[in-house]
Chains A and B, each alone.
Chain A
């Protein structure tokens, strides 16, 4: 055995199958290629793994930065809010409690708002507070622990000055300013670290009564307003579109059309984020003391529990105690059919305001009354008049999410109500206005189908340029065509900042059309809805949920298609000095009662008030005996009257202009009225200041906006970042992967073929020509080799 090892020459060399030189070359090469492939694949794997790791790792590094709150921001600072996953954590948390008591036709709301400082610094909280559009705010108090500080009404600039001085001095203070009739700013200064400051706001609002149901709306958040116009001071040459810009605090910049844009555009934060932080919850308790037996009580957007109280009223509370502040709270209640009121009168007697300009009413008493009178209903068959309806639908970005679906659904329903003989058109607007037809068309099946298809395709995006859309809608009528009833139905969320300019536009270009507004969304701008319909001599409905569309639109159709009560006149008894609002009684649509508030000089009520009017061509008359109501059921009527008068004076200011002599005299009247009745108004604010200085001199004060929750079903609109990756890396990576894989496959087959070639023993050129031949053979069918019937067929077919 051992011998065999050492005698290598035992087997003749020619009998041995030894690798040739070619074999070594070949083997070396192929293994070399294998190594390359291995290297490529490994490199690829490492690359991919590294990318993945990096993509995961780096954001984590970025997230380590401390939470930046908005309060640290000074002019020019960047507003980056990096908390967990880049989310902004408000430094002041908010909790609300609303106690509503309904007496007669007035609801008194006590709104308690807790501002909780969650930081280690002294804070000033700034909160944009949405309130009902007819709210008469008549009280503000701050409460720290057990102590309460009562606020006072002051002229707006003076109040702001008092507040600023108190803030600088380190005293606790609160300021409540009206920015819009339904939008206030609430500032609370010097909240100590970890402290809770409660702000109590008291307001009165008239209860709505329509088609046999009472309703009450309590907004909790707002839809971000679109701010049209050019930014003041930025020197932007009018480019037409005004993108949302932010100042250092993140509020929109004032523009020439909305000079107070920064006061009505708070930070919005997704409700889920706020909920996660335990902030922005509201509890609502309602005490109904209407004195009527009720058939039902319902709330369309909240779950409620209601129970009867021993005194014959009803107590209503949110089920589960509290709800997120991301949608309006609406309560509706309907009296039993047998107890349906036809008329109601509530009075309040108050000492007349001392030291009047003439000084003649000192020591006297004034009586305020609130009156509700239901006109007769049209009986029998009503002739339906042909109509010309222009539907205007808002497709701006704020309508995104559920709102646009509700709007489309409403519009489709409205289109289905059209009858032969009617004419219609549809106008869509966002940043631009587009009419479906150049002029209103006859409502035949074809044009309705055409409109339906277009409505289905509407998308929400862009700005809310309402003025051109309204102008177009009012200019649709062909001249010399007075046979049709002209109606404009405006479907929108009213999320604009230039409301007053729009009211003026409606007032001027209405002609003989009537404007009806359909308010869409969880937090529509009710102020816009109500006033636009008032100036448009129409009426309004609100839709907050897709399931409501049918019911609410039916209510609107009932008003659109039935004759209205016109030429209404109220005759007061002789000898009474009456100041009643609204001054001119509007036409009433079906189901609407006459509602007015009046001030009567002197304490005694006597006689009867007579209402004359015309319905479907027939005169009618109603009477009501004037007498003081018993108990406290008329409490708050005085404030409601003053608020209505301010509203009327503001409307007059719209036509005179605010800075004219007349406008200034109206301003004086409003100011006096608000001061007399202790109300917040455009010219008066509530301010409360604690005497004690609480903040030590050395400690700074941070300003922190309290965000508002994004309304339910809406999408938070933010100025978006562009896409800033071309995807070259992804392409390169997939190229590398594909090429590598392809080469790998190819390589293995080449290896096999290489072995074949080797066996046959050809040179490089032979191998190449062989490979080419093989490739061509694979590519081109060979008739001789087409054994398969299918292949034969294919070849013959050629």
Chain B
């Protein structure tokens, strides 16, 4: 009797957790798809398009890491924004500006293969005017976020940030994995 109740509760809680995780992953995937569509609209029409009617965030850039599927980068590094896609931190520079651009994302959704990046891998960023900016990975580091600040400099460059260790269970750890990519120059404007 008790055993049955407890096991039911356990199963229910397990399903709930499973559902939560699935929901997070589904949200991350679906949002990327919707934002990607909005981004294309935006590039074509030149007007800011909301990915879904009640969205409180907007895409600011498109990120292609080492030729993989493009990721839509959102404005700001808040928890809500990061659930939908990588976030471009408010204190950092926009692509092409003479200030380091910092993009952060969850290690378990969008930046799940950041650890596979090697020196020299290409990274490309597209801004809302459709212009591409090319970067090349020049360094990766692990830092303790409780003891260091974000290295934002007054020169163009791209910093990708995610949590570390990549598969740790505890989500609140202090370590961060940084990938620094140097700026190679402006690419050509994509003709649509």
Q: Are A728 and B108 in contact (CB under 8 A)?
A: yes
Contact of B21 among A55, A724, A735 (CB under 8 A): A735
In the complex, A778 has a CB within 8 A of chain B: yes
Q: What residues on A are CB-neighbors of B163 within 8 Å?
A: 723-725
Q: Are B17 and A724 in contact (CB under 8 A)?
A: no
Chain B residues 111 to 146 lying within 8 A of chain A, measured CB to CB, are 111, 139, 141-145
Chain A residues 227 to 244 lying within 8 A of chain B, measured CB to CB, are 231, 233-236, 243-244
In the complex, A2 has a CB within 8 A of chain B: no
Q: What residues on A are CB-neighbors of B191 within 8 Å?
A: none
Interface size on A, residues (CB 8 A): 64
Binary contact readout A113-140 vs B (1 if CB under 8 angstroms, 0 otherwise): 0000000000000000000000000000
Known A234-B154, A253-B154, A722-B89; judge A54-B24 contact (CB<8 A): no
Known A233-B154, A722-B87, A722-B104; judge A745-B7 contact (CB<8 A): yes
Tell me the nearest residue of chain A to B10, going by C-beta: A742
Q: Are B155 and A236 in contact (CB under 8 A)?
A: no
Q: Are A722 and B168 in contact (CB under 8 A)?
A: no
Report the minimum CB–CB distance from B180 to chain A (whole Å): 6
Cα of A62 to Cα of B164 in the assembled complex, Å: 10
Q: Are A728 and B109 in contact (CB under 8 A)?
A: yes
In the complex, B44 has a CB within 8 A of chain A: no
In the complex, B18 has a CB within 8 A of chain A: yes
In the complex, A75 has a CB within 8 A of chain B: yes
Q: Are A724 and B168 in contact (CB under 8 A)?
A: no
Contact of A729 among B9, B10, B168 (CB under 8 A): B168
Q: Are A742 and B154 in contact (CB under 8 A)?
A: no
In the complex, A460 has a CB within 8 A of chain B: no
Q: What residues on B are CB-neighbors of A80 within 8 Å?
A: 141, 143, 148, 151, 178
Q: What residues on A are CB-neighbors of B50 within 8 Å?
A: none
Chain A residues 72 to 107 lying within 8 A of chain B, measured CB to CB, are 75-76, 78-82, 85-88
In the complex, A736 has a CB within 8 A of chain B: yes
Cα of A86 to Cα of B97 in the assembled complex, Å: 30
Tell me the nearest residue of chain A to B18, going by C-beta: A735
Known A233-B154, A729-B108; judge A742-B11 contact (CB<8 A): yes
Report the minimum CB–CB distance from A297 to chain B (whole Å): 40
Q: What residues on A are CB-neighbors of B89 within 8 Å?
A: 722
In the complex, B175 has a CB within 8 A of chain A: yes
Q: What residues on B are CB-neighbors of A233 within 8 Å?
A: 98, 154
Tell me the nearest residue of chain B to A55, going by C-beta: B168
Q: Are B99 and A236 in contact (CB under 8 A)?
A: yes
Q: Are A721 and B145 in contact (CB under 8 A)?
A: yes
Cα of A744 to Cα of B30 in the assembled complex, Å: 35
Report the minimum CB–CB distance from B77 to chain A (whole Å): 4
In the complex, A51 has a CB within 8 A of chain B: yes
Known A79-B151, A248-B153; judge A723-B171 contact (CB<8 A): yes
Report the minimum CB–CB distance from B163 to chain A (whole Å): 4
Binary contact readout B2-16 vs A (1 if CB under 8 angstroms, 0 otherwise): 011011111101111
Q: What residues on B are CB-neighbors of A58 within 8 Å?
A: 142, 164-165
Cα of A88 to Cα of B182 in the assembled complex, Å: 24
Q: What residues on A are CB-neighbors of B101 within 8 Å?
A: none
Known A247-B154, A726-B106; judge A733-B169 contact (CB<8 A): yes
Q: Are B7 and A78 in contact (CB under 8 A)?
A: no
Cα of A347 to Cα of B65 in the assembled complex, Å: 74
In the complex, B162 has a CB within 8 A of chain A: yes
Report the minimum CB–CB distance from B129 to chain A (whole Å): 15
Cα of A382 to Cα of B173 in the assembled complex, Å: 62
Q: Are B180 and A51 in contact (CB under 8 A)?
A: no
Q: What residues on A are CB-neighbors of B151 within 8 Å?
A: 78-80, 246
Q: What residues on A are CB-neighbors of B106 within 8 Å?
A: 724-726, 728
Tell me the nearest residue of chain A to B142, going by C-beta: A62
Tell me the nearest residue of chain B to A62, going by C-beta: B142
In the complex, A748 has a CB within 8 A of chain B: yes
Chain A residues 480 to 507 lying within 8 A of chain B, measured CB to CB, are none
Known A734-B17, A735-B21; judge A719-B107 contact (CB<8 A): no
Cα of A724 to Cα of B159 in the assembled complex, Å: 14
Q: Are B161 and A82 in contact (CB under 8 A)?
A: no
Q: What residues on A are CB-neighbors of B18 within 8 Å?
A: 731-732, 735, 739
Q: Are B170 and A720 in contact (CB under 8 A)?
A: no
In the complex, B79 has a CB within 8 A of chain A: yes
Report the minimum CB–CB distance from A741 to chain B (whole Å): 5
Chain A residues 723 to 771 lying within 8 A of chain B, measured CB to CB, are 723-746, 748-749
Binary contact readout A582-608 vs B (1 if CB under 8 angstroms, 0 otherwise): 000000000000000000000000000
Cα of A725 to Cα of B6 in the assembled complex, Å: 31
In the complex, A59 has a CB within 8 A of chain B: yes
Cα of A199 to Cα of B128 in the assembled complex, Å: 54
Contact of B17 among A244, A246, A731 (CB under 8 A): A731
Interface residues on B, range: 35 or more
In the complex, A558 has a CB within 8 A of chain B: no
In the complex, B190 has a CB within 8 A of chain A: no
Q: What residues on A are CB-neighbors of B168 within 8 Å?
A: 51, 54-55, 725, 729
Known A235-B97, A741-B10; judge A724-B4 contact (CB<8 A): no
Tell me the nearest residue of chain A to B152, going by C-beta: A245
Tell me the nearest residue of chain A to B79, going by C-beta: A723
Report the minimum CB–CB distance from A262 to chain B (whole Å): 10
Cα of A537 to Cα of B184 in the assembled complex, Å: 56
Q: Are B4 and A243 in contact (CB under 8 A)?
A: no
Binary contact readout A40-84 vs B (1 if CB under 8 angstroms, 0 otherwise): 000000001001101100110010010000000001101111100
In the complex, B34 has a CB within 8 A of chain A: no
Q: Are A719 and B165 in contact (CB under 8 A)?
A: no
Q: Are B145 and A742 in contact (CB under 8 A)?
A: no
Cα of A52 to Cα of B170 in the assembled complex, Å: 10
Q: What residues on A are CB-neighbors of B24 within 8 Å?
A: 726-728, 731
Contact of A726 among B6, B171, B175 (CB under 8 A): B171
In the complex, A718 has a CB within 8 A of chain B: yes
Cα of A247 to Cα of B142 in the assembled complex, Å: 20
Q: What residues on B are CB-neighbors of A744 within 8 Å?
A: 7
Q: What residues on A are CB-neighbors of B142 within 8 Å?
A: 58-59, 62, 82
Q: What residues on A are CB-neighbors of B13 within 8 Å?
A: 738, 742
Q: Are A778 and B4 in contact (CB under 8 A)?
A: yes
Contact of B155 among A51, A76, A79, A85 (CB under 8 A): A76
Cα of A80 to Cα of B10 in the assembled complex, Å: 45
Q: What residues on B are CB-neighbors of A736 within 8 Å?
A: 14
With most chain A CB atoms within 10 A of its CB, the pick from B3, B152, B168 is B168
Contact of A234 among B25, B93, B161, B176 (CB under 8 A): B93
Cα of A235 to Cα of B176 in the assembled complex, Å: 29
Tell me the nearest residue of chain B to A721, going by C-beta: B145
Q: What residues on A are CB-neighbors of B21 within 8 Å?
A: 728, 731-732, 735
Cα of A119 to Cα of B107 in the assembled complex, Å: 37
Q: Are A721 and B104 in contact (CB under 8 A)?
A: yes
Known A80-B141, A725-B171; judge A236-B97 contact (CB<8 A): yes
Q: What residues on A are CB-neighbors of B161 within 8 Å?
A: 721-722, 724
Q: Are A724 and B3 in contact (CB under 8 A)?
A: no
Q: What residues on A are CB-neighbors of B9 within 8 Å?
A: 742
Tell me the nearest residue of chain A to B156, going by C-beta: A76
Q: What residues on A are CB-neighbors of B8 within 8 Å?
A: 742, 746
Cα of A587 to Cα of B30 in the assembled complex, Å: 70
Cα of A358 to Cα of B83 in the assembled complex, Å: 75
Report the minimum CB–CB distance from A252 to chain B (whole Å): 10
Q: Are B98 and A746 in contact (CB under 8 A)?
A: no
Q: What residues on B are CB-neighbors of A742 within 8 Å?
A: 6-11, 13-14
Chain A positions within 8 Å of B, measured between CB atoms, are 48, 51-52, 54-55, 58-59, 62, 65, 75-76, 78-82, 85-88, 231, 233-236, 243-248, 253, 718-746, 748-749, 778
A-B contact sample (11 more), CB < 8 A, given A75-B155, A735-B17: A59-B165, A246-B152, A247-B153, A721-B150, A721-B176, A726-B106, A728-B21, A729-B167, A731-B24, A732-B17, A736-B14
Some 5 contacts from A to B, beta carbons below 8 A apart, are A80-B151, A87-B147, A721-B150, A732-B18, A739-B10
